[in-house]
Amino acid sequence: MIIARNVTVDRPVDVVAAYLSDFTTTTEWDPGTVLTTRESGDGGIGTRYRNRSRFLGRETSLLYVVTEFVPGERIVLRGENTTVVAQDTLTFSQTPSGGATVSYRAEFTFHGVVRLVAPLLAPAFKRLGDQAESGLRTRLKQL
């Protein structure tokens, strides 16, 4: 299951990248996130975040680890629990007018029984992606 969105805002790319490179900000723009806390690290490779989210009425927790970090350009995080592995990639680029485009991609790989029902969840994941895109755009415009 993949959610991919692009959001363009009239804000400097360095400001947008710095904001989104702190994964704890998900509580401000991702409506599925209940709470994200940094467990260790400085935001770079190896930093660990605990994310608690609500999806289809159930709460779940994932431990995310930053696996790639290029300041101002890209951050990749891998989240995992017993039923899913998630890889979130945020890529930042400057627009010709001096704004920023964020390319957000979340890829989910399910384990066990959940893997069998995952295709039925496609509409819910689309809705989640639409809500995250809207929240991201709204929040970034406020920076």
pLDDT at 58: 87
Q: Which phi and psi angles does 128 have, rounded to 5°?
A: -60, -45
Question: Of residues 81 and 124, which shows the higher confidence score?
Answer: 81
Indicate whether 113 pLDDT > 80.
no
∠ CA 91-139-50, rounded to 5°: 65
Rounded Cα gap, residues 89 and 103, in angstroms: 8
pLDDT at 116: 73
Where are the chain's structural domains?
2-141
pLDDT band at 33 (very low <50, low <70, confident <90, very high): very high
pLDDT at 9: 98
* Domain boundaries 2-141, CATH class: alpha beta
* Sign of the alpha-carbon dihedral angle for 59, 120, 81, 51: negative
- 58-103 pLDDT tens trace: 899 999 999 999 999 999 999 999 989 999 999 999 999 999 999 9
pTM for this model (two decimals): 0.91
